[in-house]
Amino acid sequence: MNINLTLFGQMVTFAIFVWFCMKFVWPVIIGAMEERQQKIADGLDAADRAMRDLEAAKSEATDQMKEAKQEAAGIVDQANKRANQIVDEAKVLAVAEGDRLKVAAEAEIEQEINRAKEELRSKVAGLAIAGAEKILEASIDDKANRALVDKLATQL
């Protein structure tokens, strides 16, 4: 154990190294580490937030999808209903039109029949007169017998 000047030499050296470390080493490294810690924490926070946002967006999207589906289903229902209605209306119209046409046709037929009857009647009258003319030959007065024949024709 020989204590000598080395003791003080070491003390001075010690002081210098501690000063150096305090000035140029420790704050820089610790600063960088803390900054990085902050950055990582921020990053994790951001990731969490993004996760939450994603979750929310997903649920919102699902909601919207559901709504859209419901709406679509409603629209389809309505459309179906309307289509049925239109078809029904068309049916009713068609039936009505058919009936109307039938009635018209029947009326026309009736008319035709009547006309045919009339025509037939007049023709029959002519024929009867012609026949009678033939039978009676020229002696009979056309005008005097005409009324008789017409009366006969209406009775047909």
Partner 1 sequence: MSGENPASTTEYIQHHLQNLVYGKLPAGFERHTESGLEVLGADTWTMAHGASEAAAMGFWAIHVDSMAWSIGLGVLFCWVFRRAAVRATTGVPSGMLNFIEMIVEFIDGSVKDSFHGRNKMVAPLALTIFVWIFLMNLMDLLPVDLVPKLMGLAGVGYQKIVPSTDPNITMGMALGVFILMIYYNIKIKGTGFIKELTMHPFNHWAFIPINLFMELVGLLAKPFSLGLRLFGNMYAGEMIFILIAMMFAAGAGSGLVFGGLNAQLFGTETNGAFWLVIFVLVCGVCWMNLKGKISTGRTVLLTLGLLTIGGGVFALGGGLMQWGWAIFHILVITLQAFIFMVLTIVYLSMAHEEDH
Binding site for partner 1 (CB under 8 A): 1-11, 13-15, 17-18, 20-22, 24-33, 35-36, 39
Closer by beta carbon to partner 1, 44 or else 56: 44
Q: In angstroms, what is the minimal distance from the CB of 73 to partner 1? A: 53
Closer by beta carbon to partner 1, 28 or else 51: 28
Residue 96 Cα distances to 85, 88, 111, angstroms? 16, 12, 22
The tokens of 79 are what? 């459309």
Total residue length of the chain: 156
CB 130 within 8 A of CB 106: no
Q: In angstroms, what is the minimal distance from the CB of 4 to partner 1? A: 4
Q: How far apart are CA 27 and CA 4, in angstroms?
A: 35
Closer by beta carbon to partner 1, 47 or else 72: 47
Q: In angstroms, what is the minimal distance from the CB of 34 to partner 1? A: 9
CB 132 within 8 A of CB 140: yes
Q: In angstroms, what is the minimal distance from the CB of 63 to partner 1? A: 40
Report the SS3 class of residue 150.
helix
Q: In angstroms, what is the minimal distance from the CB of 77 to partner 1? A: 59
- What type of residue is 13? T
Closer by beta carbon to partner 1, 3 or else 147: 3
Closer by beta carbon to partner 1, 8 or else 141: 8
Residue 40 Cα distances to 35, 95, 138, angstroms? 9, 80, 138
